[in-house]
Amino acid sequence: MTSIGQRIKSLRKEKKYSQQFIAEKLNISQSAYSLIESAHNNVMIGHVLTLSKLYDVSTDFILKGETNLIHMNIENGFIPFINVEAVAGNLNELQGAHSQSEYDRYRIPGFKSSSNHLLFEVEGDSMTPTFYPNDILICEAQHSISDVADNSLVVIGTEKGLLTKRVKKEYGYCYLESDNKHYSPIKIENEEIKAILSIKGKVTSKVNTNTKVETDKFEHMESNLKQLEYQIERLSQQIK
């Protein structure tokens, strides 16, 4: 069975990286990195995470040497998670997200991913109750505003940053509306849109505990309505 150092060395040689290059990625000296490969230095957990992203392999492979090596790429269902603040000033990074190693990647069970998919975290409450803060949105990159349906849910990128909204399209411009009615619509010209992604799904930790209560209320109202209809019918018969 190979050691951690041997596996790291094998991955480095497969990519044809120098020890100096990897050492810089780990913020350590080349000599310190050399000792890791030769098993004379322990590898830190932070280094394992960095190497996992760099080589597109699981941390389990680096630590345990599992033979079923899984590359953390889109072909295996792993989608890049985009930090909204990190790309706010450079939306061009969205186009190359799948080829960049610094993004965390996650596989969503039951969701068939493609190279156009990206993950975003919801910030703020402007889209409640549709989306809540910290929900994870599964998005698909589109070429232009014409590629998304009217009244659909989107993530739109402008010079001011990324916005999660419902889009209402007009000729030459559109309105970005919030599902939370405390927020006013935003008018934006089509040429101001630097990136647009349609929202295909979400991952949430919020459970709607009011569903049973709302169902009971509806059934109670329905029962009252039937009683009212019955009383009206009896009253009309008495009048006749």
Tell me what pLDDT residue 217 has. Answer: 66
**Chain mean pLDDT for the chain:** 83
Rounded distance between C-alpha atoms, residue 144 and residue 196, angstroms: 7
Classified as helix, coil or strand, 221 is helix
The dotted CATH code for 74-203 is 2.10.109.10
- Strand 104-107 and strand 161-169: pairing? unpaired
* pTM of structure: 0.60
Tell me what pLDDT residue 79 has. Answer: 86
- Please, is 124 exposed, middle or buried when counting C-beta atoms within 10 Å of its C-beta (0-12, 13-18, 19+)? middle
- Strand 78-82 and strand 117-121: pairing? parallel
Tell me what pLDDT residue 19 has. Answer: 94
pLDDT tens digits, 41-76: 888 888 988 898 888 888 888 888 765 556 667 777
Q: What percent of the chain has pLDDT over 70?
A: 82
Rounded distance between C-alpha atoms, residue 189 and residue 226, angstroms: 51
Instruction: Please state the domain extents for the chain.
Output: 4-51, 74-203, 209-240
Tell me what pLDDT residue 58 has. Answer: 81
Tell me what pLDDT residue 218 has. Answer: 62
- Tens-digit pLDDT string for the chain (240 aa): 678 899 999 999 999 999 999 999 999 999 999 999 988 888 888 898 889 888 888 888 888 876 555 666 777 788 888 877 655 555 665 655 655 566 778 888 778 888 888 898 888 899 999 999 889 999 998 989 999 999 999 999 888 788 899 999 999 999 999 999 999 999 999 999 988 999 999 988 776 655 555 556 666 677 777 777 777 777 777 775
Tell me what pLDDT residue 39 has. Answer: 84
Q: Are 82 and 118 in contact (CB under 8 A)?
A: yes
Sign, CA torsion 47/53/57/58: positive
Sign, CA torsion 168/135/184/180: positive
| Tokens, residue 164 | 């999660």
**Fold exhibited by the domain 4-51:** 434 Repressor (Amino-terminal Domain) (1.10.260)
Say what the alpha-carbon torsion angle 104, 106, 112, 115 is, to the nearest 10 degrees: 10
Tell me what pLDDT residue 86 has. Answer: 55
Rounded distance between C-alpha atoms, residue 122 and residue 180, angstroms: 14
